[in-house]
Amino acid sequence: MKINIKAQAVTNENKQEEREPIPEGWHNAVVIDYTTKTTKAGNGEYLLLTYEIVDDSESKGRWFWGSYNLVNPSPRAVAVAEKQLAELAWCAGVENLTDPHQLLQIPVKILLAHDEWEGRVNSKIKGYQKCDLRSNGVNPMASARPVVSKPDSNDVPF
């Protein structure tokens, strides 16, 4: 296959407009992927979870990310991450979280708020609740993508 693409043909005028942030509020979501990354400072590691919205809203199918500082010089950062992961695991029905794989494809309710960083509005996780999508007639697996292991990379959008 031969490719001949002129990158200079893309200008600000013909680029697609950026999507609006996912609306603030509660959303039904599942973890669809995870990876661990080194912090920018190089002195810690964080778990990066990729979530997909699975409720019947205009945001269905949208992705957002949650990062959890598990190795960090700041004990407070680690304590916050451990508390957040404990809440997520409890809401997902995982009593003893030993591997992020245990969280995959389990529906939870996630409270999103907007946070501005480097001039961009991002969705930030503010809370978790248990979720039973089956009682709403929604099958989270019907819209969820298959889980695929990915090699560790630095191509996450933040």
Which domains are seen in the chain, by residue range? 19-142 (2.40.50)
The pLDDT value given to residue 9: 60
Q: Strands (DSSP E) along the chain, which ranges?
A: 25-38, 45-53, 63-71, 108-117, 120-130
The two structure tokens encoding residue 79: 């304590």
What per-residue confidence (pLDDT) applies to 103? Answer: 97
Q: How far is CA 83 from the centre of its chain?
A: 17
Those residues of the chain that have pLDDT short of 50 are 14, 16, 136-158
CA distance 38 to 40: 7
Looking at residue 156, its pLDDT comes to: 47
User: From CA 144, how far away is CA 54, in angstroms rounded?
Assistant: 7
Q: How much is the pLDDT for 154?
A: 47
Torsion, Cα of 64, 147, 144, 22 (10° steps):
0
Amino acid at 143: S
Q: Which residues pair with 63 in a beta bridge?
A: 52
pLDDT tens digit sequence for 97-138: 999 999 999 999 999 999 898 888 888 999 999 987 655 444
Q: Provide the H-helix boundaries in 43-120.
A: 75-92
Q: How far apart are CA 120 and CA 115, in angstroms?
A: 8
pLDDT of 147: 43
pTM, to two decimals: 0.74
